[in-house]
Chains A and B, each alone.
Chain A
Amino acid sequence: MTDTCDVLIVGVGGQGVILASNVLGEACLAQGRPVKAAETHGMAQRGGSVECHVRIGGTLGPLIPPGGAGVILAFDLLEALRYRHYLAPKGRMVVNRQMVVPTSAFMQGLAVPTVEEALGKLQDLDLCPLDADALALEAGSPLTQNIVMVGAASPHIPLSAEALKAAVKRSVPPKTIEMNLKAFQLGRDAAASCR
């Protein structure tokens, strides 16, 4: 684990990708670490593909080069396929084992890979698949799946669990703090069985 780490978070608008990246950014601040991040705006309500770049320890530009991400958090399998070329040779991908089929694919009858096919196209990577939706429900709300994902990636991110949890508290609505801390822990525990 190096001191600097480029983390790419991808998903579908509305899944809380930007909030997940804010947790990493706030944790950097708490640990006195420089950070740069870039995000896609305006997709939250419109279901588009969303990518957030977070460069822990970054002092220059906010964008991660393809092949440079130490960790990818993919909230959706189709987005995992779309962005897998960003992963560094020794990087790890944490992926939610589910797929939102794009509406345009239904409308135009485009071929969409199944969950199993998609996982198959990721098998050559250091992959940690988990059912973030189910864990989020267990934590108390499907909306916490973004924090489940952050928890699952946390062992591979050079930030302390304490700093990340404090950042979760700062970043989520006050009423949902307990639920989100539980989601973080459930994700972290689930990822422990990955290896």
Chain B
Amino acid sequence: MSIDKDKIKHISKLARISIDSNKSDSLAKDLTSIFKFIEQLNELNTDKVEPLSSILNTPLRSREDKINDGKIRDKVLENSPKKNEEFFVVPKVIE
């Protein structure tokens, strides 16, 4: 797969990363070579191999259903660029 400028624009928009337009050519080139490497891996026959979601052979750690967190509104709101006593305040988003 080759990555072009439009694709760079699309994925940077999805990821909310702003990219200088004079950099998108070199980025497209870098990403294309990365994809070429991945395509090489695709040549391997993996029909009988389960997809690997984790390399650790330990079970997922779980917890009991207990309430032992929360009630820290001030801390949670502390770093918000805009807030009032109770809420995060963000620019109007409405459909």
Partners in one complex: no
Q: Chain A interface (Cβ within 8 Å of chain B)?
A: none
